[in-house]
Each structure stands twice: as C-alpha cells, then as structure tokens.
Amino acid sequence: MHYWKLLALIFVPCLIAQEPAFTPGGRGGPNQGDKGITAAIAGAKEDPAAFERGAKAYAANCGGCHGATGRGSVGAPDLVRSLLVLDDEKGILIAPVLRNGRPDEGMPKPNLSEEQIADIVAWLHVQTYSAGHRSTYAFMDVLTGDAKKGEAYFNATCKGCHSATGDLKGIGARYDAFALQARWLQPRGGRGGRGGASPSSNKPVTVTVTLSSGEKISGTLDRVDDFSVSLRDSRSDYHSFTRDGATPKVEINDPMKPHTDLLGKYTDPDIHNMTAYLVTLK
C-alpha cells in the first residue's frame, strides 16, 4: 500500500465529516478548515497555486451546472463521485471533456486555456481526495460494469485495431482488474505502466523532418517543442533540428493517437463495461 493511501485512511474520516468543498483562502484566519485544505492538497499531490487558480476557474465556468462544490445539480452529474474523475491521472480523462465539452449531452464546450484546464483538474483531484473517494477507490471493485455491453462497445469501437482472440487474447489473465483498466485507458503509461508490460511493447512515436533542400530524415521521435525537434534514425544516429515556424516541415506519427482521441468519448458506464468485458478474456 502506498504511504499516502495509509495517511488518507487515517485523515479522510475526519475530512468527510465536513461536506463543503475546500475553497482557498479560508474564512477568517487559521482554523481546522485551512489545515484540512492543506492536508488534502498535499495528499492529492497537487500544487497549491494551481488549486487556488482552479477554484476560481471552476467557480466561473462550471459551478453553475455542477454545483459550487462539484457535487452536481439537476441536469449535471456529481463530479466528486464521477468514476471518470476518480480514474483520472494528470488530466488524461478529464481534459478531453473540458476541451470539447459534450454538446450533445448538455455540456457546451467550455472556453478554457490548457493552463486553466490543468488548474481545474488539480481542483477536482483535491475535491475527490478530500471526500475520501480517490483513496478508497483503489480498493473498490472496478468490476461494476456489464461485460455484455462492454463486448458490444468493443465490437463497435475497438475491433478495427484489436481482436479478442488475437492480440488481446489472455489479457484478462495477465493483469488484475485495476491494472487492466489503467492498461486500456492509458496504454502508454499512467498507472498501468508501473510494474506492467515491457516498454518495448509500445509502438514508438515516429517523425519525418523535411529540410528546405527537400531531404527527408525519419526516425523515432526523441523530443519536440516549438523551437526544436530531435530523433534517432534506423541506425540509432541522433539528429536535432532548430525549428522556425513551418521550417523544416515536421510530421509526427503517433500510433496511439486514435487511442488518446477516444479518451474524450468514454462515459463512466463505457469504462466499467469495457473493463468487465476485458477481464473475461482469459
């Protein structure tokens, strides 16, 4: 068991008693609440400054529908109990919802910068932590889904790339349910990456750089930002280029991109039905 989980088990019962969300600033000097906030931020391993900014951004953009404390209201779900929020690691599940909204389901696309999204994610993590759900979640049975519905979803969404009798055969025997859920949600790492399959099983991100002379250099992406890109070619030689706007041309091919794009589409039941199904692939 992780040390912080142990701590959480000790602290959380006192925190649950005070239902209101932790908001920054406190109300009039040092009191139990302030200590609670500090403990919850530390426990959730979030940056206090991000939490403070996130509280403001949440109040301005989300509270009207999801409630001031994130516990939902008529027509908008409880985010503190949302399995999608509980499953989230570093915003990987929440961010796509905040980038695009769910316009067809009653959540318009919010107008947020990536920084604001990260801040709101930090605020949400502290809320779920302080309510005790994030720490107890690891011990809950993740198999609350319906395997039949999971199978139907698999056939509709995943079958183009995977097969239950091919590459994913036996996956339910290789991981416990919790690791398996992390594995299909975040095949490149996240929680499932730890103590899991060898990194070499992940197909690398490749890149092709086209110089102004027309020469093309391709290989495995080392790193890329607005100012430079570097790669290793098939002979493991290292190449690094300075970028200036669109020069040189940089084409990145991430085999996991379709996977990452799917993250924004899963609902809570989808996640749990899918895990319940994958567990049956023994």
Q: Which residues bind ligand HEC (CB under 6 A)?
A: 61-62, 64-66, 75-77, 79, 82, 84-85, 94, 97-98, 102, 105-108, 110, 120, 154, 157-158, 160-162, 171, 183-184, 187, 197, 201-203, 255-256, 258-259, 262, 267-268, 274
Q: From the CB of 141, what's the least distance to ligand HEC, in Å?
A: 18
Residue 119 CB, nearest distance to ligand HEC (Å)? 10
Smallest separation (angstroms) from ligand HEC to the CB of 261: 9
CB of 90 to ligand HEC, least distance (A): 14
Residue 24 tokens, joined: 């920054």
In terms of CB distance, is 9 or 65 closer to ligand HEC? 65
Least gap, CB of 36 to ligand HEC (angstroms): 22
CB of 219 within 8 A of CB of 239?
A: yes
Nearer to ligand HEC, 100 or 247 (CB): 100
Cβ neighbour number for residue 198 with a 10 Å cutoff: 6
65 vs 205 by CB, closer to ligand HEC: 65
Calpha distance 110→126 (Å, rounded): 21
The residues near 70 (Cβ < 8 Å, ≥ 6 apart) are 21, 58, 62, 63, 78, 79, 80, 124, 127
106 alpha-carbon distance from chain centroid? 22
C-alpha span between 129 and 119 (Å, rounded): 15
Minimum separation from the CB atom of position 60 to ligand HEC (A): 9
CB closer to ligand HEC out of 67 and 132: 67
C-alpha span between 156 and 256 (Å, rounded): 18
The nearer residue to ligand HEC, 187 or 248, going by C-beta atoms, is 187
Alpha-carbon Rg for the chain in angstroms = 22
Give the whole-angstrom CA distance, residue 130 versus residue 141: 20
Give CA–CA dist 127/124, Å, rounded: 5
Query: Whose Cβ is closer to ligand HEC: residue 91's or residue 248's?
Result: 91
